[in-house]
């Protein structure tokens, strides 16, 4: 491992091969609260993987276990083929960017970033070169002599990032590193982190409860709930083909319509309101049959608003509220059965008038079909 064998060779921030992380059968409780249950996950070398889940779902606990800040009750953490389950954090050679893993307040930016190199016994000439390069990478050159309190929040976050990367770690762990920043700065730093990660090649495990941030940054996303993996996949798949109701609802707005399976001449179809029928997608459980209920989810941006009834499926609705969001309109409407239905349409199109009657049309292939959450075999 690089941290236990400090070298005086060139240690500039150069492409490094990220390490594979294997989390096997990890269980962890605090008191009698089970926080992680039989957790299995493999992060591929050089992958950017995000743990996404609501507050309390176990994201930080899992990240701390990978980083060696918490020892799990059961299971193992293998990094680059080495079982690190019991190894202390400082011997794992990982970079950390944690929201509460603050900069040393009395040390300059230069000294903060140099710290991981100093504890590794790197020569001072080399440290100067590496720190300069790390600050350049996060666009903070020239600010080395400032104290953390003389920097903005976003600049401090970038110093943390430089400190996490300066020693060429093969794994970088980030827990809500952009949590307290405004949207613009968040987006800027999301891009910086992703570009740096692609350039350097470390394996990244990133924690957020913001689904847009997870989508924007990740190769793959793990949706967590109650200490278990609910879905693991590339962002597009998690968004377009959620495997369960919790995931569908957590990763974005979704309109839900009840459907019933019916036997037609050509096999099963889904019957929904107003005489519409939908094809049964292949992923819907084969154990379902005639009369079984399903939940049909339609993302707001998949819907086209029409003034006249055209195409199928389509539902009649009354427009209740139109709000302008710059690049889109969000249209709150109400279906004939009284349910709310949200539509998001490009602001390059005319918005419907509030109070008007419209027809909502979508491509039936875009329907997300789920088994209802109240459980049906
Ligand atoms: N040191 C601790 N002692 C007792 N319980 C803890 C401790 N750390 C976490 N927990 C509990 O474990 C559960 C998971 O916490 P964790 O911090 O991993 O969640 P999280 O997904 O990171 O949430 P958030 O999005 O709010 O940061 C929560 O119920 C929390 O209260
Ligand atoms: Mg947390």
Residue 94 CA to residue 193 CA, distance in Å, equals 16
Indicate the SS3 state at residue 320. strand
Say if ligand 1 is within 6 A of residue 60 CB. yes
Predicted local confidence at residue 210, as pLDDT: 93
Residue 36 CA to residue 193 CA, distance in Å, equals 28
Q: Which atom of ligand 1 is nearest to the CA of 224?
A: 21
Residue 239 CA to residue 189 CA, distance in Å, equals 23
Q: Which atom of ligand 1 is nearest to the CA of 61?
A: 18
Listed in sequence order, the residues at least 6 apart from 128 whose beta carbon sits closer than 8 Å to its beta carbon are none
Which ligand is the nearest neighbour of the Cα of 61?
1
Instruction: Name the residue among 232, 203, 7 with its Cα closest to residue 123.
Output: 7
Instruction: Name the residue among 165, 163, 166 with its Cα closest to residue 151.
Output: 163
Cα of 88 to ligand 1 centre, how many Å? 20
Residue of 31, 32, 57, 61 to test ligand 1 pocket, by largest number of atoms within 8 Å of CB: 61
Residue nearest to atom 27 of ligand 1 (CA): 55
- Give the N- to C-terminal CA distance of the chain in Å, as an integer: 49
pLDDT, tens only, 121-169:
999 999 999 999 899 888 898 999 999 999 988 889 889 989 998 998 9
**Domains in the chain, start-ordered, CATH in brackets?**
2-247 (3.40.50.300), 253-370 (2.40.50.140)
Say if strands 293-298 and 368-370 run parallel, antiparallel, or are unpaired.
antiparallel
Cα of 210 to ligand 2 centre, how many Å? 12
**Cis, peptide link before residue 212, omega less than 30° from 0:** no
Say if ligand 1 is within 6 A of residue 372 CB. no
Instruction: Name the residue among 66, 176, 218 with its Cα closest to residue 231.
Output: 218
Predicted local confidence at residue 95, as pLDDT: 93
- Say if residues 52 and 208 touch (Cβ distance below 8 Å): yes
Residue nearest to atom 16 of ligand 1 (CA): 58
The alpha carbons of the chain give a radius of gyration, in whole angstroms, of 25
Predicted local confidence at residue 326, as pLDDT: 96
pLDDT, tens only, 166-200:
998 999 999 998 877 888 888 988 998 998 899 88
Task: Please state, in angstroms and as integers, the Cα–Cα distance from residue 188 to each residue in 20, 181, 183, 195, 209, following that order.
Answer: 28, 11, 9, 11, 18
Instruction: Name the residue among 67, 29, 376, 372 with its Cα closest to residue 206.
Output: 67
DSSP 268: E
Count of Cβ atoms closer than 10 Å to residue 191 Cβ: 12
- Say if residues 148 and 109 touch (Cβ distance below 8 Å): yes
Predicted local confidence at residue 100, as pLDDT: 63
Tokens at 275, concatenated: 């005489």
> Could you list the mean pLDDT of each consecutive 10-residue stretch along the chain, which spans 377 residues?
37 69 97 95 97 96 96 97 94 86 90 94 93 90 94 89 91 89 86 89 95 96 96 96 93 95 88 90 81 94 94 95 97 96 96 97 93 59
Predicted local confidence at residue 11, as pLDDT: 43
Beta bridge mates, 187: none
Predicted local confidence at residue 1, as pLDDT: 35
Residue 100: exposure state from Cβ atoms within 10 A (0-12, 13-18, ≥19) = exposed
Instruction: Name the residue among 94, 106, 176, 121 with its Cα closest to residue 8.
Output: 121
Beta bridge mates, 221: 50, 233
Which ligand is the nearest neighbour of the Cα of 174?
2
Residue 285 CA to residue 191 CA, distance in Å, equals 39
Count of Cβ atoms closer than 10 Å to residue 224 Cβ: 26
Instruction: Name the residue among 239, 341, 346 with its Cα closest to residue 300.
Output: 341
HSE-up of 26 (CA within 13 Å, CB side)?
Answer: 31
Residue nearest to atom 12 of ligand 1 (CA): 35
Cα of 60 to ligand 1 centre, how many Å? 7
Q: Which atom of ligand 1 is nearest to the CA of 53?
A: 21
């Amino acid at each position: 491992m690089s941290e236990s064998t400090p070298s005086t060779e060139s240690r500039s921030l150069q492409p490094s091969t990220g390490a594979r992380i294997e989390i096997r059968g990890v269980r962890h409780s605090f008191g009698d609260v089970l926080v992680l249950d039989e957790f299995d996950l493999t992060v591929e070398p050089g992958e950017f993987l995000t743990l996404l889940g609501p507050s309390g779902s176990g994201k930080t606990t899992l990240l701390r276990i990978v980083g060696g800040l918490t020892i799990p009750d059961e299971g193992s953490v293998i990094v680059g083929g080495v079982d690190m389950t019991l190894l202390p954090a400082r011997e794992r050679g990982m970079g950390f960017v944690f929201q509460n893993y603050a900069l040393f307040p009395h040390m300059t930016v230069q000294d903060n970033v140099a710290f991981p190199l100093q504890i590794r016994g790197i020569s001072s000439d080399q440290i100067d070169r590496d720190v300069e390069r790390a600050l350049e990478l996060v666009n903070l050159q020239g600010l080395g002599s400032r104290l953390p309190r003389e920097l903005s929040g976003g600049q401090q976050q970038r110093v943390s990032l430089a400190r996490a990367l300066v020693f060429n770690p093969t794994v970088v762990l980030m827990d809500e590193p952009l949590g307290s920043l405004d949207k613009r700065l968040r987006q800027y730093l999301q891009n910086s982190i992703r570009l740096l990660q692609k350039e350097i090649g470390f394996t990244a495990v990133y924690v957020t409860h913001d689904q847009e941030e997870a989508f924007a940054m990740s190769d793959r996303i793990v949706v967590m709930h109650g200490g278990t993996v609910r879905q693991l996949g590339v962002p597009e798949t998690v968004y377009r083909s959620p495997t369960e109701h919790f995931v569908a609802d957590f990763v974005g707005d979704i309109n839900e319509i009840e459907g019933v399976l019916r036997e037609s001449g050509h096999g099963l179809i889904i019957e929904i309101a107003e005489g519409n029928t939908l094809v049964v997608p292949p992923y819907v459980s084969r154990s379902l049959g005639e009369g079984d209920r399903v939940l049909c989810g339609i993302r707001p941006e998949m819907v086209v608003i029409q003034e006249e009834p055209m195409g199928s499926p389509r539902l009649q609705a009354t427009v209740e509220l139109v709000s302008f969001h710059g690049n889109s309109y969000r249209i709150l409407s109400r279906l004939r059965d009284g349910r709310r239905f949200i539509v998001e349409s490009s602001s390059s199109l005319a918005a419907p008038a509030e109070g008007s009657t419209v027809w909502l049309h979508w491509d039936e292939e875009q329907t997300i079909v789920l088994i209802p959450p109240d459980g049906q075999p």
